[in-house]
Structure 1
Amino acid sequence: MKKWIVVVGLMGMMFSACQTQNAFTENNNEPAQVSLTMRDVIPAMAPKTPEVKAQQQQFLKVNVSRFKNRKLASDFYVLHGQRTFNANKLDSATIFFNRAWLMDSTNADVFWGYGLIYGKQEKYDRALFILYRALENDTDNPRLLTDIATTHLARFYQQSTPEDLSQSKKLLEQAIELEPENAADTYYKLAVNSYYLRDYAEAWTYLHQSIKEDKSKADETFIGALLEKERDPKGLYTASK
């Protein structure tokens, strides 16, 4: 699943000077640990009624004979889940990922899909729980590492939890090591991460690297927020007067 269009809810980062300052200073406590199980995050594991369970059994009966094997069937429904997710049809995407899970409950791409849906819904504890399950079976996937890091950044912004910030940076750095080229999005998120860590020189370095690879990463709001903290060492951007 290397071609996800990532829509996990981090960006529009709301970069006013007040907001970015407060995001790190208002609360330095560790987040409460939420106890979750797979049944909590995979809807297909816990059918709500006997009718739904019967529908699942009928679905399996039909699809086991329809496809060459269950893995192919799962991949088929994952593909449809991706497409509907990227079209922002989250309910439909969830249905497709449920079907994919029913066909192959070990498919890491299913976990990834659920994680992105929860991230889009700003249910970051659930998103991270299931995304790390995906990572267990795909440890060297830079896109997945970036998606998990993005979710940590989003939870940091929501909950002001410093450990989310440090974990996000760790994962982004791992992603860069695995795929240093064509990594504009990862460099941009490292720039955001460094900004929140108040390492503004490093933020500029990552931002310039990101823009070098993709000029669309020259986000005026972020650049303006960064200029309020430290001038651009390359002099390409200046604060408006």
Structure 2
Amino acid sequence: MKYIFTTLFSLIFVCSFAQQMSYDEWKKETQSEINLRPEYGNVVKSQGELKEDQTFVDLVLKQDTTPRKGSDHLVRLGFTYLSKGDMVTAMKRFNQAWLLDPKNENVYWGYGAIYGSFSDYSAAIVQYDKGLVINPESSVILTDKATLYFVQFQQDQDNSKLNTALDLLKRSYSIDPKNTSTTYKLSICYFLSKDCINAWKFYNECQKLGGQPIAENYTNALKNICPN
């Protein structure tokens, strides 16, 4: 099943396209750029910086009316830049989203995606867990956190990680059974667990929901190893 890993990993983070910098370069930049640290690194800002922040917040609120709406808008922008491999701009948008609404769990979904794209799984999980403290019912965070665990399972064959992924995905599914990413990854996890019945069950559910993002080589593997 080793070849399936490539397929899975390409589906996990929207920034699987060519990144504009390496992780070493990223970490070097964060030493001098607080904009690239989650929550701006929680540094104490100068009066001038605080004034600039307030000017930005006031401008956004004129357009989006509430802090949460403005924050969600910026999170969406962050993921758009992430999909293009522009990690710097993505993190800046996520931080601006946090500035508007520190209690928006989706900000931490964005932070986690940044670190996940660099394969820093422990740092990504820290951010996902912060989001889940705010909203334990966030299915998107639960699904992406689960993804980190089964990617690691593919690398080291540690069954405890696969079991953790399954537990998280089942929680996510109980919250939102119509998320195609969740149903697809449940199918894959059951496939890796050699549970063909459930692998097909969630594969079929994913198809009924629109069939995305099912990859052809996963379909072929499922048919070959779990013929029904």
TM normalised by structure 1 equals: 0.66
The number of aligned residues is: 195
Task: Give the Cα separation in 2 of the matches to 1:153 and 1:41.
Answer: 26
Contact 1:108 / 1:134 at 8 angstroms: preserved in 2? Answer: yes
Please state how far the C-alpha of 1:81 moved relative to its aligned partner. Answer: 1.6
Q: Kindly report the root-mean-square deviation, in angstroms, between the aligned alpha carbons of the 2 structures.
A: 3.2
Task: Give the Cα separation in 1 of the matches to 2:190 and 2:175.
Answer: 20
Task: Give the Cα separation in 2 of the matches to 1:157 and 1:54.
Answer: 49
Structure 2 gap segments, 5+ residues each: 10-33
CA 1:102–1:213 in 2, change beyond 3 Å: closer, same or farther? closer
The residue aligned with 2:111 is 114
Contact 1:41 / 1:126 at 8 angstroms: preserved in 2? Answer: no
Q: For 2:188, give the aligned amino acid.
A: V
Task: Give the Cα separation in 2 of the matches to 1:209 and 1:72.
Answer: 32
The residue aligned with 1:4 is none
Which deviations, in whole Å up to 9, do the C-alpha atoms of 1:165-199 show, x marking residues without a partner?
1111112112222222x333222111110111122
The residue aligned with 1:12 is 7
CA 1:67–1:220 in 2, change beyond 3 Å: closer, same or farther? closer
Contact 2:180 / 2:211 at 8 angstroms: preserved in 1? Answer: no
More helix by share: 2
Q: Check if 1:170 corresponds to 2:183.
A: no
The residue aligned with 2:225 is 229
Q: Select which of 132, 135, 157 maps to 2:132.
A: 135
The residue aligned with 2:123 is 126
* 2:112 alignment partner, SS class: helix
Please state how far the C-alpha of 1:46 moved relative to its aligned partner. Answer: 5.7
Structure 1 gap segments, 5+ residues each: 1-9, 15-38, 234-241
Please state how far the C-alpha of 1:94 moved relative to its aligned partner. Answer: 0.7
The residue aligned with 1:83 is 80
TM normalised by structure 2 equals: 0.70
Identity of aligned residues (%): 24
* 2:200 alignment partner, SS class: helix
Q: Select which of 193, 197, 201 maps to 2:197.
A: 201
Q: Give the 5 Å matches for 1:178-193.
A: 178-180=175-177, 182-193=178-189
Q: For 1:129, give the aligned amino acid.
A: V
Q: For 2:168, give the aligned amino acid.
A: L
The residue aligned with 1:97 is 94
Q: For 1:156, give the aligned amino acid.
A: F
Task: Give the Cα separation in 1 of the matches to 2:203 and 2:39.
Answer: 39
Which deviations, in whole Å up to 9, do the C-alpha atoms of 1:104-145 show, x marking residues without a partner?
433322111101111122221111111111011122232222
Q: Give the 5 Å matches for 1:53-64.
A: 56-57=49-50, 59-64=52-57
Q: For 1:191, give the aligned amino acid.
A: S
Q: For 1:184, give the aligned amino acid.
A: T
* 1:88 alignment partner, SS class: coil
CA 1:133–1:184 in 2, change beyond 3 Å: closer, same or farther? same
Task: Give the Cα separation in 1 of the matches to 2:71 and 2:210.
Answer: 34
